[in-house]
A and B are shown apart, each in its own frame.
Chain A
């Protein structure tokens, strides 16, 4: 039997849909329809991950999240119809590990659950084995001596050029590189019409390591300036 995942939402159809989705992935799914119920189930079952809605009767998602955080350190993903940046910031600062806006993409949701669980269970605390030769950023880990990028502990297959770009980004987390500079440093040629070339490679890298390539979390475009690897605040 797979790990136990708790899904909390007052919309029973959504809970059911998520349950089908996750059971298809091999997880055991517990269902709750309000915050109190969720807390009950948490105390009686060995839950490894919580998917929780914000707007619920009896006890809302953020309050439930605070209660959970008092006792447990399991991954919590908020699932909400509020998709504004401010809502995301609020949820994450309250202690959530991830924030998925409705309507969600089922595949993306499944991928996120998988990612969080793997990091929580199989990898354990990533900092304990952190070494000089490793650069860790969120769910990414780049081993500089091997020149291999791991996402959620799994090696990402990259071409030589893509590896060069990832190498540049991982060594300079948060720094913005204009396309010309990336071109010069990766291709080692004078930049000409570099924008498209760089963009094509970045899109491909994204498809390989982002959970949702349309809304990238790691490799971002800084519009009108260049590209960067976003430095993740929560890196456990």
Chain B
């Protein structure tokens, strides 16, 4: 219920707005269109008077008629003074103009006579030339082929005779024509001027009479023309050409010319005609300009005019004057004023209607102001509907609408010919239009165009504005967009190769089409169809379309290539153990799938590594805790064994037991420390102190440190170390432990009396230290010696913790070195290698 009411309110409010705007615009445009020409829009009091005499056309008509009558009075050639053919489109269908070719004919006759004369002269010249040629022929004829020649001369003579006859005939024709037309003028021609001018005067009088006959029937305009005190023409007895200016009942407009100046009395009031006394040309053709009549200071009357007196009066309410024919038909007189008034009254009705519309529209707009909130919602709803329409369709609709408006404007202006003018403004090279006339031109369009055009134009604009205001993403609902989207969703399932191949194919096809189009264009061009606008448009849109397609395809390919780079980088990062999230998703890209899968792999690896680290750390923590727990009781054991050792007077065998206890507790202590160290090293949690050190010196120092142990053993050491320093990057303390362990192993497990070889070799980039010893026991080839608690024999009765090699390996690797061993029969070889620090200075000194 509520929503229904709400919807109704919205609809009503929008309807109010719609009608208000349409009526206001339509009314305004209508008033502009239908208002009398010389009245401005703001002169509202005159707008609705409906006085046809206020119009510009009336002024034009009256001045035209005044000049005609003046011509009739003074005997000027009527046509040449009046100079206009027709009363404008307004009257064309009713008034028309009488056939007045008698005036033109006069000139035509004279022109034709002139042509006759000229032709005749030419003929005479030719004749004389021919005679001369004949004479020459006769003189020079003696030397040539006489017989043949004389025949030729005879022939020519006959020809001349024929020409002479022809000329005579033409002369006769001309004389005939001259008689017919009554123009007595010939080559001699000046003596008969009087006779000729009299004929002209006669002709003029005939024309004036004809004109008088034509206009006198229209009693809407009564007039009296006199010259030199004698009344020449008048179509009413009730009017006299004198300064009293009396007019019969029903005639409210009087114009009187007394040979000096013109006076106009309208509704008993005299009009101010001359202004400041100067006539300006523009005021003639400009609407509402001054009267084109003599009497201005710069437009005085001529001598002949001074004798003329003219009065004319126009009816207040003209009626239709007709003339009945004998056969029952009828013909209308001039009646210009009647039709002028008729149209004026019709316009008044229209104007009143327009005013009503305007008032109603403004009232509705006022109402619309109070219902604006509902209207805004309605606008939103309309925008919602607009949003669903494809943008292409909207463009087509807009084009159609614009064409419709254009068509309306064009058809309503076609008669005025502004269309031609428009084309001339824009397409003619030598047609100059000043700003002033363009303004008039605009006014003209405003006046002529049907108001519906403006209303339509406004609503078209409003719809566009509404769409832009509410639908920010206009492109969202586009047909091509949907098509592309459908294609993308379908193609995403295809393998990448097919997608890219399809893209190339489309581009190739487009290129082929484009080349074809261009070829057609070229052919057309060559065959001369240069000005075909449709073809040019096709070429332009074809080029644009192809470029857009090429750009889009290229963009997509570049995007894919970039993605490939990113993907490769990601793989590299993962390979290097960097599992941080990349963050790029490539949504909608070609490689979206690949990226997602790589992301899965990365995530899995990250989890696995984290899990491994966690378990490693837990293991280290466990070992740390266990070793702490072992250390505490071990402390007591060691302490009390110490006391036992210091006890005196113990039996010998008890002393032996205490010695064993001491030994084993010490060994346990070492073992606990080793286990802790090796587990820490393996988990990478061992704190390292890396520094540049001399590998050779490290070996020397370690050997020196263990000198006592070595001397006390059954093996001897042989060293082979380079003289120059071999610098490596390592933690000295840890590497000392590594070699200590290795040497201890060598001492412990070597064949008694054998030699242990310690050597350091470098090739400039890698330094390899090796420890070789002959094993006391047979080496099990399958054994992994660096495995924790691994040792040469399985019995585990000797002193080592079994962690020596393991610690050595862990520490070496923690320092960034490589640890390896190999066995050859009973020869056991351990190799520890590090990258040599390339130091320029050191290198230099070595060279």
Contacts and interface: CB of A to CB of B under 8 A. Distances in A.
A18 interface: yes
B639 A21 contact: yes
A126 B628 CA distance: 37
Contacts of A82: 628
Nearest to A102: B635
A81 B627 CA distance: 9
A221 B705 contact: yes
Contacts of A222: 693, 732
Interface size range on B against A = 35 or more
B705 A224 contact: no
A17 B643 contact: yes
Contacts of A224: 693-695, 697-698, 701, 728, 730, 732, 735
Contacts of A1: none
B758 interface: no
Given A83-B673, A223-B702, A225-B697, A17 B636 contact: yes
A20 interface: yes
A103 B634 contact: yes
A65 to B, nearest CB: 19
Contacts of B637: 103
Given A11-B632, A221-B736, A223-B701, A17 B687 contact: no
Interface string A175-217: 0001100000000000000011011100100000000000000
B703 interface: yes
B640 interface: yes
Contacts of A11: 632, 635-636
A200 B730 contact: no
A102 B632 contact: yes
Among B628, B634, B639, max chain A CB count under 10 A is at: B639
A83 B686 CA distance: 13
A181 B733 CA distance: 21
A13 B673 CA distance: 22
Contacts of A103: 631, 634-635, 637-639, 669
Contacts of A178: 697
Contact of A20 (B635, B643, B733): B643
A20 B647 CA distance: 13
B605 interface: no
A200 B707 contact: yes
Interface in B708-736: 728, 730, 732-733, 735-736
B642 interface: yes
B654 interface: no
A227 to B, nearest CB: 8
Contact of B639 (A18, A179, A199): A18
Nearest to A106: B642
Contacts of A93: none
B733 A17 contact: no
Interface in A45-90: 55, 81-83, 85-86
B622 interface: no
A14 interface: yes
B536 interface: no
Contacts of B634: 102-103
B733 A104 contact: no
A222 B731 CA distance: 10
Given A81-B631, A224-B697, A224-B701, A86 B707 contact: no
Contacts of B669: 103
A223 B728 CA distance: 12
Nearest to B737: A223
B694 A196 contact: no
B632 A81 contact: yes
Nearest to A107: B642
A226 B692 CA distance: 12
Contacts of B628: 55, 81-82
Contacts of B697: 178-179, 195, 224-226
A13 B636 contact: yes
Nearest to B699: A224
A200 B708 CA distance: 9
A54 B274 CA distance: 126
A196 B704 contact: yes
A81 B693 CA distance: 32
Interface in A10-25: 11, 13-14, 17-18, 20-21
Interface in B576-631: 627-628, 631
A195 B704 contact: yes
B672 to A, nearest CB: 9
A225 B640 contact: no
A104 B632 CA distance: 10
Contacts of A14: 632, 635-636, 639
Nearest to A13: B636
Interface in B626-666: 627-628, 631-632, 634-640, 642-643
Contacts of B701: 179, 195, 199, 221, 223-224
A104 B635 contact: yes
Contact of B704 (A83, A106, A199): A199
Interface in A73-131: 81-83, 85-86, 102-106
Nearest to B734: A223
Interface in B679-703: 687, 691, 693-695, 697-698, 700-703
A226 B637 CA distance: 38
A44 B673 CA distance: 39
Contacts of B640: 13, 17
A92 to B, nearest CB: 16
Contacts of B642: 106
A78 to B, nearest CB: 14
Nearest to B730: A224
B674 to A, nearest CB: 12
Contacts of A21: 639, 643
Nearest to B669: A103
B693 A225 contact: yes
A102 B700 CA distance: 31
A115 B192 CA distance: 166
Contacts of B673: 83
A103 B630 CA distance: 10
B468 to A, nearest CB: 68
Contacts of B638: 103-106
A116 to B, nearest CB: 20
Contacts of B735: 223-224
Interface in B228-247: none
A54 to B, nearest CB: 10
B17 to A, nearest CB: 81
A17 B732 contact: no
Nearest to B707: A196
A223 B732 contact: yes
Nearest to B643: A20
Contacts of B631: 81, 83, 102-103
Nearest to B708: A203
Contacts of B703: 195-196
Nearest to B689: A85
Nearest to A18: B639
A13 B730 CA distance: 42
B693 A223 contact: yes
B698 A223 contact: yes
B693 A199 contact: no
B741 to A, nearest CB: 14
Given A200-B707, A224-B698, 7 more contacts: A17-B635, A17-B639, A104-B635, A106-B638, A195-B697, A195-B701, A224-B693
19 contacts: A11-B632, A11-B636, A13-B640, A81-B628, A81-B635, A82-B628, A102-B631, A102-B635, A103-B639, A196-B700, A196-B703, A196-B707, A199-B705, A200-B707, A203-B705, A221-B701, A222-B693, A224-B694, A226-B697
Interface of B: 627-628, 631-632, 634-640, 642-643, 669, 673, 687, 691, 693-695, 697-698, 700-705, 707, 728, 730, 732-733, 735-736
Lowest 8 CB-CB distances: which A-B pairs, in order? A224-B693, A223-B732, A199-B704, A224-B698, A17-B639, A195-B700, A103-B635, A81-B631
